[in-house]
Structure 1
Amino acid sequence: MTGLLDAPVLEQAHLPVRAGEEAAFEAAMAEAVPLVSGIPGFRGIHVSRGVERPGTYLLLIGWDSVGAHEAGFRASPQYTRWRELLHHFYEPFPVVEHSCPFRSNVLASNLAA
């Protein structure tokens, strides 16, 4: 498995956890992380708690492709359990987005064109 930030696709979400439920959320997340790590196309996961907004967590998951996340994980029984463990903590429900790294040589060639 290569590093999270080397993944072709990076899923990111800011997870707003209901006030007072942070400890329970962190325990549930610890149980949930192994569910995603066995999915084909998974590259790594990082979850961190906000400094300025301690009730908001940053979720980053590296994937081989958007399909590995959407069709692979979200269509799996592991995602059903992930949802049961975590989704009730969010208020409001987070927006999940995907990004792809750009390479400086690609950027340079686009700027030169």
Structure 2
Amino acid sequence: MILEVAILQVKAGQTEDFEQSFRQASQIISGMKGYISHELQCYLEVDNQYILLVRWQTLADHTEGFRGSAEYQEWKQLLHHYYDPFPTVHHYKTVESSQSL
């Protein structure tokens, strides 16, 4: 399993619209090959900041499958205009966990 991590800084005054758009975008990503799950969490101490965690079966499911798809173009149209600056995305693999995966 691969964990995609993106810190999202949403433009001031647009968090409600962003969250509504993200609900729509969630339907897109959840139907992609290799998708396992995702979480969007808001940062309590920093206004307008979120963290997006997406679990994929493989790195290629995200970087090639999702990002190379027509669905990704729809995802971009729904979400990318909310970000300033544009987020950096990192990928992680589990080394140790107390949860059964």
Decide: shared fold, TM above 0.5. yes
Structure 1: where are the runs of 5+ without partners? 1-7, 105-113
In the alignment, which residue of structure 1 is the partner of 2:78? 85
Amino acid of the residue matched to residue 96 of structure 2? R
- 2: CA distance, partners of 1:15 / 1:59: 7
Match of 1:31 among 24, 29, 34: 24
Which structure has the higher relative contact order (CA within 8 Å, separation 6+)?
2
Higher helix fraction (1 or 2): 1
Structure 2: where are the runs of 5+ without partners? none
Residue 101 in structure 1 maps to residue 90 in structure 2: no
Residue 17 in structure 1 maps to residue 7 in structure 2: no
- 1: CA distance, partners of 2:62 / 2:47: 27
Task: Pick the structure with greater CA Rg.
Answer: 1
**TM-score for the superposition, normalised by structure 2:** 0.93
In the alignment, which residue of structure 1 is the partner of 2:49? 56
**TM-score for the superposition, normalised by structure 1:** 0.83
Two-structure CA RMSD over aligned residues (Å): 1.0
Identity %: 37
Alignment length (residue pairs): 97
Q: Which runs of 4+ in 1 moved over 4 A?
A: none
